[in-house]
Protein backbone atom coordinates (compact mmCIF):
# COMPACT_ATOMS: atom_id res chain seq x y z
CA UNK A 1 0.00 0.00 0.00
CA UNK A 2 2.88 2.34 0.89
CA UNK A 3 4.52 1.64 -2.49
CA UNK A 4 1.33 2.58 -4.33
CA UNK A 5 1.03 5.79 -2.31
CA UNK A 6 4.68 6.60 -3.01
CA UNK A 7 4.13 6.04 -6.73
CA UNK A 8 1.03 8.28 -6.72
CA UNK A 9 2.96 11.01 -4.88
CA UNK A 10 5.75 10.84 -7.47
CA UNK A 11 3.26 11.10 -10.34
CA UNK A 12 1.54 14.09 -8.72
CA UNK A 13 4.89 15.79 -8.09
CA UNK A 14 5.86 15.24 -11.73
CA UNK A 15 2.55 16.68 -12.99
CA UNK A 16 2.46 19.66 -10.63
CA UNK A 17 6.13 20.66 -10.63
CA UNK A 18 8.75 18.64 -12.51
CA UNK A 19 7.10 18.70 -15.93
CA UNK A 20 6.91 22.53 -15.83
CA UNK A 21 10.34 23.39 -14.42
CA UNK A 22 12.56 20.65 -15.86
CA UNK A 23 13.74 21.56 -19.40
CA UNK A 24 14.58 17.92 -20.37
CA UNK A 25 17.52 19.14 -22.47
CA UNK A 26 19.13 15.69 -22.72
CA UNK A 27 15.89 13.87 -23.57
CA UNK A 28 15.17 12.32 -26.97
CA UNK A 29 13.04 14.25 -29.51
CA UNK A 30 10.15 11.82 -29.05
CA UNK A 31 10.22 12.24 -25.26
CA UNK A 32 10.28 16.05 -25.63
CA UNK A 33 7.29 15.85 -27.97
CA UNK A 34 5.48 13.60 -25.48
CA UNK A 35 6.20 16.01 -22.62
CA UNK A 36 4.84 18.91 -24.67
CA UNK A 37 1.63 16.99 -25.45
CA UNK A 38 1.17 16.14 -21.76
CA UNK A 39 1.68 19.82 -20.89
CA UNK A 40 -0.94 20.83 -23.45
CA UNK A 41 -3.47 18.34 -22.04
CA UNK A 42 -2.81 19.47 -18.45
CA UNK A 43 -3.10 23.13 -19.47
CA UNK A 44 -6.36 22.36 -21.29
CA UNK A 45 -7.84 20.55 -18.30
CA UNK A 46 -6.86 23.43 -16.00
CA UNK A 47 -8.51 26.00 -18.26
CA UNK A 48 -11.55 23.77 -18.77
CA UNK A 49 -12.25 24.10 -15.06
CA UNK A 50 -11.12 27.73 -14.76
CA UNK A 51 -13.28 28.91 -17.67
CA UNK A 52 -16.42 27.08 -16.45
CA UNK A 53 -16.83 25.21 -19.72
CA UNK A 54 -19.50 22.89 -18.30
CA UNK A 55 -21.72 25.89 -17.47
CA UNK A 56 -21.08 27.61 -20.80
CA UNK A 57 -21.82 24.44 -22.77
CA UNK A 58 -25.17 24.20 -20.93
CA UNK A 59 -25.99 27.78 -21.92
CA UNK A 60 -25.04 27.11 -25.55
CA UNK A 61 -27.15 23.94 -25.56
CA UNK A 62 -30.12 26.01 -24.37
CA UNK A 63 -29.63 28.69 -27.05
CA UNK A 64 -29.08 26.05 -29.73
CA UNK A 65 -32.32 24.26 -28.82
CA UNK A 66 -34.23 27.56 -28.96
CA UNK A 67 -32.79 28.66 -32.30
CA UNK A 68 -32.60 25.33 -34.13
CA UNK A 69 -35.77 25.96 -36.18
CA UNK A 70 -34.88 29.56 -37.22
CA UNK A 71 -31.34 28.39 -38.01
CA UNK A 72 -32.68 25.55 -40.17
CA UNK A 73 -35.00 28.02 -41.94
CA UNK A 74 -32.14 30.41 -42.70
CA UNK A 75 -29.81 27.67 -43.96
CA UNK A 76 -32.61 26.19 -46.04
CA UNK A 77 -33.40 29.60 -47.52
CA UNK A 78 -29.75 30.26 -48.38
CA UNK A 79 -29.01 26.80 -49.78
CA UNK A 80 -32.23 26.59 -51.81
CA UNK A 81 -30.67 29.17 -54.12
CA UNK A 82 -27.97 26.60 -54.89
CA UNK A 83 -30.43 23.70 -55.13
CA UNK A 84 -28.64 21.64 -52.47
CA UNK A 85 -31.12 21.81 -49.57
CA UNK A 86 -32.23 18.20 -49.98
CA UNK A 87 -28.63 16.99 -50.14
CA UNK A 88 -27.89 18.69 -46.82
CA UNK A 89 -30.96 17.12 -45.20
CA UNK A 90 -29.95 13.67 -46.43
CA UNK A 91 -26.42 14.14 -45.13
CA UNK A 92 -27.61 15.23 -41.67
CA UNK A 93 -29.95 12.23 -41.46
CA UNK A 94 -27.08 9.99 -42.50
CA UNK A 95 -24.76 11.38 -39.83
CA UNK A 96 -27.28 11.40 -36.95
CA UNK A 97 -29.82 8.70 -37.89
CA UNK A 98 -31.03 8.45 -34.29
CA UNK A 99 -32.78 11.83 -34.67
CA UNK A 100 -34.52 11.37 -38.02
CA UNK A 101 -37.92 12.07 -36.44
CA UNK A 102 -36.77 15.32 -34.84
CA UNK A 103 -35.04 16.39 -38.07
CA UNK A 104 -38.30 15.88 -40.01
CA UNK A 105 -40.21 17.98 -37.47
CA UNK A 106 -37.64 20.78 -37.59
CA UNK A 107 -37.69 20.77 -41.41
CA UNK A 108 -41.49 20.86 -41.47
CA UNK A 109 -41.63 23.89 -39.17
CA UNK A 110 -38.79 25.70 -40.97
CA UNK A 111 -40.54 25.11 -44.31
CA UNK A 112 -43.67 26.74 -42.91
CA UNK A 113 -41.51 29.75 -41.98
CA UNK A 114 -40.29 30.00 -45.56
CA UNK A 115 -43.78 29.52 -47.07
CA UNK A 116 -45.23 32.25 -44.86
CA UNK A 117 -42.38 34.52 -45.90
CA UNK A 118 -42.97 33.80 -49.61
CA UNK A 119 -46.71 34.40 -49.24
CA UNK A 120 -46.09 37.71 -47.50
CA UNK A 121 -47.79 36.59 -44.26
CA UNK A 122 -46.19 38.56 -41.41
CA UNK A 123 -43.13 38.88 -43.65
CA UNK A 124 -41.30 41.47 -41.56
CA UNK A 125 -41.98 39.70 -38.27
CA UNK A 126 -40.82 36.32 -39.59
CA UNK A 127 -37.59 37.78 -40.98
CA UNK A 128 -36.82 39.65 -37.75
CA UNK A 129 -37.50 36.59 -35.56
CA UNK A 130 -35.38 34.28 -37.71
CA UNK A 131 -32.50 36.75 -38.04
CA UNK A 132 -32.51 37.67 -34.33
CA UNK A 133 -32.60 34.03 -33.18
CA UNK A 134 -29.72 33.02 -35.46
CA UNK A 135 -27.66 36.11 -34.60
CA UNK A 136 -28.26 35.54 -30.88
CA UNK A 137 -26.97 31.98 -30.89
CA UNK A 138 -23.89 32.96 -32.92
CA UNK A 139 -23.17 35.88 -30.57
CA UNK A 140 -23.31 33.54 -27.58
CA UNK A 141 -21.04 31.05 -29.34
CA UNK A 142 -18.54 33.84 -30.01
CA UNK A 143 -18.72 34.95 -26.35
CA UNK A 144 -17.93 31.41 -25.22
CA UNK A 145 -14.95 31.18 -27.58
CA UNK A 146 -13.71 34.65 -26.59
CA UNK A 147 -13.91 33.63 -22.94
CA UNK A 148 -11.79 30.58 -23.70
CA UNK A 149 -9.23 32.77 -25.50
CA UNK A 150 -9.43 35.44 -22.76
CA UNK A 151 -10.48 38.09 -25.28
CA UNK A 152 -12.56 40.92 -23.81
CA UNK A 153 -13.66 42.55 -27.08
CA UNK A 154 -16.28 41.09 -29.38
CA UNK A 155 -16.64 41.71 -33.10
CA UNK A 156 -18.32 44.80 -34.45
CA UNK A 157 -21.86 44.25 -35.76
CA UNK A 158 -20.77 44.42 -39.41
CA UNK A 159 -18.07 41.79 -38.84
CA UNK A 160 -20.50 39.61 -36.92
CA UNK A 161 -22.88 39.55 -39.88
CA UNK A 162 -20.16 38.95 -42.51
CA UNK A 163 -18.29 36.25 -40.55
CA UNK A 164 -21.43 34.40 -39.47
CA UNK A 165 -22.83 34.40 -43.01
CA UNK A 166 -19.51 33.01 -44.22
CA UNK A 167 -19.88 30.11 -41.77
CA UNK A 168 -23.50 29.53 -42.82
CA UNK A 169 -22.42 29.36 -46.47
CA UNK A 170 -19.23 27.31 -46.23
CA UNK A 171 -20.22 24.59 -43.76
CA UNK A 172 -23.24 23.23 -45.71
CA UNK A 173 -21.25 23.40 -48.96
CA UNK A 174 -18.49 21.27 -47.39
CA UNK A 175 -21.12 18.77 -46.29
CA UNK A 176 -22.57 18.52 -49.79
CA UNK A 177 -19.19 18.27 -51.52
CA UNK A 178 -18.18 15.50 -49.15
CA UNK A 179 -21.48 13.64 -49.62
CA UNK A 180 -21.17 13.86 -53.41
CA UNK A 181 -17.54 12.80 -53.37
CA UNK A 182 -18.23 9.93 -51.00
CA UNK A 183 -21.08 8.65 -53.16
CA UNK A 184 -18.93 8.75 -56.30
CA UNK A 185 -15.96 7.16 -54.53
CA UNK A 186 -18.11 4.43 -53.01
CA UNK A 187 -19.62 3.53 -56.36
CA UNK A 188 -16.23 3.40 -58.11
CA UNK A 189 -14.58 1.31 -55.38
CA UNK A 190 -17.49 -1.11 -55.22
CA UNK A 191 -17.16 -1.70 -58.96
CA UNK A 192 -13.42 -2.21 -58.62
CA UNK A 193 -13.69 -4.54 -55.63
CA UNK A 194 -15.46 -7.36 -57.58
CA UNK A 195 -16.44 -9.06 -54.34
CA UNK A 196 -12.94 -8.86 -52.84
CA UNK A 197 -13.06 -8.76 -49.04
CA UNK A 198 -9.80 -6.83 -48.90
CA UNK A 199 -11.04 -4.07 -51.21
CA UNK A 200 -14.37 -4.02 -49.36
CA UNK A 201 -12.57 -3.35 -46.07
CA UNK A 202 -10.38 -0.82 -47.83
CA UNK A 203 -13.54 0.95 -49.01
CA UNK A 204 -14.89 1.15 -45.46
CA UNK A 205 -11.58 2.54 -44.25
CA UNK A 206 -11.63 5.17 -47.02
CA UNK A 207 -15.18 6.23 -46.08
CA UNK A 208 -14.28 6.45 -42.38
CA UNK A 209 -11.14 8.45 -43.21
CA UNK A 210 -13.16 10.82 -45.40
CA UNK A 211 -15.66 11.40 -42.59
CA UNK A 212 -12.79 12.11 -40.21
CA UNK A 213 -11.12 14.59 -42.58
CA UNK A 214 -14.36 16.51 -43.24
CA UNK A 215 -15.14 16.65 -39.51
CA UNK A 216 -11.62 17.94 -38.82
CA UNK A 217 -11.97 20.63 -41.53
CA UNK A 218 -15.26 21.85 -40.03
CA UNK A 219 -13.77 21.97 -36.53
CA UNK A 220 -10.74 23.83 -37.90
CA UNK A 221 -13.04 26.47 -39.45
CA UNK A 222 -14.91 26.82 -36.16
CA UNK A 223 -11.73 27.16 -34.08
CA UNK A 224 -10.17 29.58 -36.53
CA UNK A 225 -13.17 31.86 -37.13
CA UNK A 226 -15.19 32.20 -33.92
CA UNK A 227 -12.59 33.62 -31.48
CA UNK A 228 -12.13 37.34 -32.05
CA UNK A 229 -8.36 36.98 -32.14
CA UNK A 230 -5.72 35.58 -34.46
CA UNK A 231 -5.63 31.79 -34.13
CA UNK A 232 -2.59 30.13 -35.67
CA UNK A 233 -3.32 27.55 -38.35
CA UNK A 234 -1.18 24.94 -36.57
CA UNK A 235 -3.08 25.42 -33.29
CA UNK A 236 -6.48 25.04 -34.96
CA UNK A 237 -5.23 22.04 -36.98
CA UNK A 238 -3.78 20.16 -34.00
CA UNK A 239 -6.90 20.60 -31.88
CA UNK A 240 -9.31 19.78 -34.73
CA UNK A 241 -7.47 16.53 -35.56
CA UNK A 242 -7.62 15.44 -31.92
CA UNK A 243 -11.16 16.59 -31.17
CA UNK A 244 -12.55 14.98 -34.35
CA UNK A 245 -11.54 11.56 -33.00
CA UNK A 246 -13.32 12.29 -29.71
CA UNK A 247 -16.42 13.62 -31.47
CA UNK A 248 -16.75 10.69 -33.90
CA UNK A 249 -16.10 8.22 -31.08
CA UNK A 250 -18.81 9.90 -29.04
CA UNK A 251 -21.20 9.67 -32.00
CA UNK A 252 -20.66 5.93 -32.32
CA UNK A 253 -21.04 5.39 -28.58
CA UNK A 254 -24.17 7.53 -28.43
CA UNK A 255 -25.88 5.65 -31.27
CA UNK A 256 -25.10 2.37 -29.50
CA UNK A 257 -26.27 3.84 -26.18
CA UNK A 258 -29.59 5.03 -27.59
CA UNK A 259 -30.38 1.78 -29.37
CA UNK A 260 -29.74 -0.02 -26.07
CA UNK A 261 -32.49 1.99 -24.32
CA UNK A 262 -35.37 0.08 -25.87
CA UNK A 263 -37.35 0.05 -22.61
CA UNK A 264 -36.94 3.83 -22.29
CA UNK A 265 -38.33 4.33 -25.80
CA UNK A 266 -41.28 2.02 -25.08
CA UNK A 267 -42.29 4.01 -21.99
CA UNK A 268 -41.92 7.53 -23.42
CA UNK A 269 -42.65 6.82 -27.08
CA UNK A 270 -41.76 9.65 -29.48
CA UNK A 271 -41.04 11.98 -26.54
CA UNK A 272 -38.00 9.86 -25.65
CA UNK A 273 -35.98 11.52 -28.41
CA UNK A 274 -36.32 15.03 -26.93
CA UNK A 275 -34.35 14.70 -23.64
CA UNK A 276 -31.77 12.51 -25.36
CA UNK A 277 -31.44 15.09 -28.13
CA UNK A 278 -30.86 17.86 -25.56
CA UNK A 279 -28.26 15.67 -23.84
CA UNK A 280 -26.56 15.09 -27.18
CA UNK A 281 -26.42 18.86 -27.87
CA UNK A 282 -24.99 19.54 -24.40
CA UNK A 283 -22.22 16.93 -24.66
CA UNK A 284 -21.44 18.03 -28.23
CA UNK A 285 -20.90 21.61 -27.05
CA UNK A 286 -18.67 20.36 -24.25
CA UNK A 287 -16.54 18.55 -26.83
CA UNK A 288 -16.43 21.61 -29.12
CA UNK A 289 -15.40 23.98 -26.31
CA UNK A 290 -12.84 21.47 -25.05
CA UNK A 291 -11.33 21.58 -28.54
CA UNK A 292 -11.21 25.37 -28.36
CA UNK A 293 -9.39 25.11 -25.03
CA UNK A 294 -7.01 22.69 -26.71
CA UNK A 295 -6.23 25.09 -29.57
CA UNK A 296 -5.69 27.88 -27.00
CA UNK A 297 -3.29 25.61 -25.09
CA UNK A 298 -1.32 24.71 -28.25
CA UNK A 299 -0.90 28.39 -29.09
CA UNK A 300 0.01 29.60 -25.59
CA UNK A 301 1.78 26.66 -23.94
CA UNK A 302 5.18 28.41 -24.05
CA UNK A 303 3.86 31.22 -21.86
CA UNK A 304 2.06 28.97 -19.42
CA UNK A 305 5.11 28.20 -17.24
CA UNK A 306 5.15 31.87 -16.23
CA UNK A 307 1.40 32.35 -16.49
CA UNK A 308 0.83 29.68 -13.82
CA UNK A 309 2.40 32.15 -11.39
CA UNK A 310 0.76 35.26 -12.88
CA UNK A 311 -2.43 34.80 -10.86
CA UNK A 312 -0.32 35.29 -7.72
CA UNK A 313 1.16 38.55 -9.03
CA UNK A 314 0.82 41.50 -6.68
CA UNK A 315 -1.07 44.67 -7.56
CA UNK A 316 2.31 46.44 -7.55
CA UNK A 317 3.66 44.15 -10.27
CA UNK A 318 0.46 44.47 -12.30
CA UNK A 319 0.77 48.25 -12.12
CA UNK A 320 4.37 47.98 -13.38
CA UNK A 321 3.13 45.97 -16.36
CA UNK A 322 0.41 48.54 -17.06
CA UNK A 323 2.84 51.49 -16.96
CA UNK A 324 5.38 49.63 -19.10
CA UNK A 325 2.66 48.76 -21.61
CA UNK A 326 1.53 52.38 -21.91
CA UNK A 327 5.15 53.52 -22.22
CA UNK A 328 5.75 51.17 -25.17
CA UNK A 329 2.52 52.28 -26.86
CA UNK A 330 3.49 55.96 -26.42
CA UNK A 331 7.05 55.52 -27.74
CA UNK A 332 5.84 53.46 -30.67
CA UNK A 333 3.28 56.16 -31.53
CA UNK A 334 5.87 58.95 -31.37
CA UNK A 335 8.19 56.91 -33.61
CA UNK A 336 5.33 56.69 -36.13
CA UNK A 337 5.74 52.91 -36.31
CA UNK A 338 2.99 50.37 -36.97
CA UNK A 339 0.66 50.15 -33.93
CA UNK A 340 1.17 47.19 -31.62
CA UNK A 341 -1.28 44.33 -31.25
CA UNK A 342 -1.70 42.63 -27.83
CA UNK A 343 0.25 39.61 -29.09
CA UNK A 344 3.17 41.82 -30.21
CA UNK A 345 3.26 43.56 -26.83
CA UNK A 346 3.24 40.19 -25.09
CA UNK A 347 6.17 38.96 -27.19
CA UNK A 348 8.21 42.16 -26.81
CA UNK A 349 7.73 42.37 -23.04
CA UNK A 350 7.98 38.60 -22.49
CA UNK A 351 4.80 38.80 -20.41
CA UNK A 352 1.83 36.39 -20.62
CA UNK A 353 -0.91 37.55 -22.95
CA UNK A 354 -3.44 37.34 -20.12
CA UNK A 355 -1.56 40.04 -18.16
CA UNK A 356 -1.19 42.22 -21.27
CA UNK A 357 -4.93 41.98 -21.99
CA UNK A 358 -5.66 42.88 -18.37
CA UNK A 359 -3.40 45.96 -18.60
CA UNK A 360 -4.91 47.03 -21.92
CA UNK A 361 -8.40 46.68 -20.47
CA UNK A 362 -7.47 48.96 -17.54
CA UNK A 363 -5.91 51.53 -19.87
CA UNK A 364 -8.92 51.49 -22.19
CA UNK A 365 -11.32 51.85 -19.24
CA UNK A 366 -9.26 54.86 -18.10
CA UNK A 367 -9.45 56.42 -21.61
CA UNK A 368 -5.72 56.23 -22.35
CA UNK A 369 -5.96 53.96 -25.40
CA UNK A 370 -8.39 52.81 -28.06
CA UNK A 371 -8.49 49.51 -29.95
CA UNK A 372 -8.74 49.60 -33.75
CA UNK A 373 -9.85 46.50 -35.67
CA UNK A 374 -7.58 45.04 -38.35
CA UNK A 375 -10.18 43.48 -40.63
CA UNK A 376 -7.72 41.48 -42.68
CA UNK A 377 -6.49 39.22 -39.86
CA UNK A 378 -8.92 39.78 -36.98
CA UNK A 379 -6.25 41.33 -34.79
CA UNK A 380 -6.63 44.79 -33.36
CA UNK A 381 -4.13 47.60 -32.94
CA UNK A 382 -3.63 49.81 -29.91
CA UNK A 383 -3.47 53.60 -30.28
CA UNK A 384 -3.22 56.30 -27.57
CA UNK A 385 -6.15 58.68 -27.12
CA UNK A 386 -4.24 61.41 -25.26
CA UNK A 387 -1.20 63.57 -25.91
CA UNK A 388 1.60 61.19 -24.94
CA UNK A 389 4.36 63.83 -25.02
CA UNK A 390 3.50 65.09 -21.51
CA UNK A 391 2.07 61.88 -20.06
CA UNK A 392 3.76 60.95 -16.76
CA UNK A 393 3.92 57.82 -14.63
CA UNK A 394 1.54 59.16 -11.97
CA UNK A 395 -1.03 60.08 -14.63
CA UNK A 396 -1.36 56.37 -15.38
CA UNK A 397 -1.10 55.33 -11.74
CA UNK A 398 -3.82 57.68 -10.47
CA UNK A 399 -6.24 57.13 -13.35
CA UNK A 400 -6.03 53.33 -13.17
CA UNK A 401 -6.20 53.28 -9.36
CA UNK A 402 -9.21 55.63 -9.21
CA UNK A 403 -11.11 54.07 -12.12
CA UNK A 404 -14.39 52.70 -10.78
CA UNK A 405 -16.58 53.57 -7.81
CA UNK A 406 -14.78 55.55 -5.09
CA UNK A 407 -17.61 56.59 -2.73
CA UNK A 408 -18.68 53.24 -1.25
CA UNK A 409 -17.75 54.19 2.34
CA UNK A 410 -19.75 57.06 3.84
CA UNK A 411 -17.73 60.28 3.97
CA UNK A 412 -19.10 60.95 7.48
CA UNK A 413 -16.87 58.13 8.72
CA UNK A 414 -13.93 60.06 10.22
CA UNK A 415 -11.49 57.18 9.91
CA UNK A 416 -12.30 56.77 6.21
CA UNK A 417 -11.98 60.52 5.67
CA UNK A 418 -8.61 60.56 7.43
CA UNK A 419 -7.32 57.66 5.29
CA UNK A 420 -8.61 59.38 2.16
CA UNK A 421 -6.74 62.60 2.99
CA UNK A 422 -3.52 60.71 3.74
CA UNK A 423 -3.68 58.74 0.48
CA UNK A 424 -4.36 61.88 -1.55
CA UNK A 425 -1.43 63.56 0.19
CA UNK A 426 0.77 60.58 -0.74
CA UNK A 427 -0.32 60.83 -4.37
CA UNK A 428 0.31 64.58 -4.49
CA UNK A 429 3.78 64.13 -3.00
CA UNK A 430 4.71 61.52 -5.60
CA UNK A 431 3.15 63.61 -8.39
CA UNK A 432 5.38 66.57 -7.45
CA UNK A 433 8.42 64.33 -7.06
CA UNK A 434 11.22 64.53 -9.67
CA UNK A 435 10.91 60.73 -9.94
CA UNK A 436 7.53 61.21 -11.66
CA UNK A 437 9.06 61.33 -15.11
CA UNK A 438 7.41 61.26 -18.51
CA UNK A 439 6.60 57.90 -20.06
CA UNK A 440 8.73 58.80 -23.07
CA UNK A 441 11.74 59.26 -20.75
CA UNK A 442 11.51 55.77 -19.28
CA UNK A 443 14.55 53.72 -20.25
CA UNK A 444 13.59 50.86 -22.51
CA UNK A 445 15.71 48.39 -24.45
CA UNK A 446 12.76 46.59 -26.04
CA UNK A 447 12.01 48.89 -28.98
User: In sequence order, what are the beta bridge partners of 374?
Assistant: 379
Cβ atoms of 102 and 273 closer than 8 Å: yes
Q: What are phi and psi of 384, to 5 degrees?
A: -75, 150
Domain ranges of the chain: 2-48, 54-302, 315-441
Question: For residue 384, which of 431, 351, 337 has the smallest C-alpha distance?
Answer: 337
Phi, then psi, of 101 in degrees rounded to 5: -65, -45
Q: What is residue 267's predicted lDDT score, i.e. its pLDDT?
A: 56
Nearest to 46 by CA among 395, 405, 310, 246: 310
Euclidean distance between CA atoms 12 and 8, whole angstroms: 6
Cα 346 from Cα 366, distance rounded (Å): 21
Q: Alpha-carbon torsion 407, 413, 417, 418, what sign?
A: negative
The whole-angstrom separation of Cα 243 and Cα 227 is 17
Residue range 315-441 forms a domain whose CATH class is: mainly alpha
pLDDT for 411 equals 53
Backbone φ and ψ of 315, nearest 5°: -65, -30
Strands 379-384 and 369-374: antiparallel
Q: Which long-range contacts (CB under 8 A, 24 or more apart) does 79-82 make?
A: 79/172, 80/114, 82/173
Of 19, 10, 25, 24, which is closest to residue 40 (Cα–Cα)? Answer: 19
Residue (of 329, 311, 400) closest to 361 by Cα position: 400
**What pLDDT is recorded for position 115?**
65
User: For each of the chain's 447 residues, which pLDDT tens digit applies?
Assistant: 577 878 787 777 777 767 776 667 777 888 888 888 888 898 899 889 888 899 999 989 888 887 777 777 777 766 666 666 666 676 676 666 666 767 777 777 666 666 665 555 555 666 677 677 778 888 889 999 999 988 877 787 778 878 887 877 777 777 666 666 666 666 766 676 666 677 777 777 877 888 888 889 889 989 988 898 888 899 999 999 999 999 999 988 887 777 776 555 555 555 666 777 888 889 999 999 999 999 999 988 876 766 666 667 788 888 999 999 999 999 999 988 888 888 888 888 878 777 888 899 899 988 899 887 665 555 678 889 988 888 999 999 988 888 877 665 555 566 667 787 888 888 888 888 888 888 888 876 555
Amino acid sequence: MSKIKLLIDKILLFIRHDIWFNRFTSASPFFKWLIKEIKVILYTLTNYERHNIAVRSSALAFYTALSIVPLAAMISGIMSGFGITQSIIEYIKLEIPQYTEIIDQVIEISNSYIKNYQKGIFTGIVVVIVFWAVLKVFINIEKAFNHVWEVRRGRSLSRKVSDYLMILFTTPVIFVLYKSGRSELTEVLYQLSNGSDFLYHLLNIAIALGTYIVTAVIFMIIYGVFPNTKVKFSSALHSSLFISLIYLGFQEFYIYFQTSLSSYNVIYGSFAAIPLFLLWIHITWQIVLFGSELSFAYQNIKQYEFERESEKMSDFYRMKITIMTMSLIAKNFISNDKPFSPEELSNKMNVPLALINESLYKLEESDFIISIDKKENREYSILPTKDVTNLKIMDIFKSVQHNGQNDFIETENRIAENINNILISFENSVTDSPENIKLLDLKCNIL
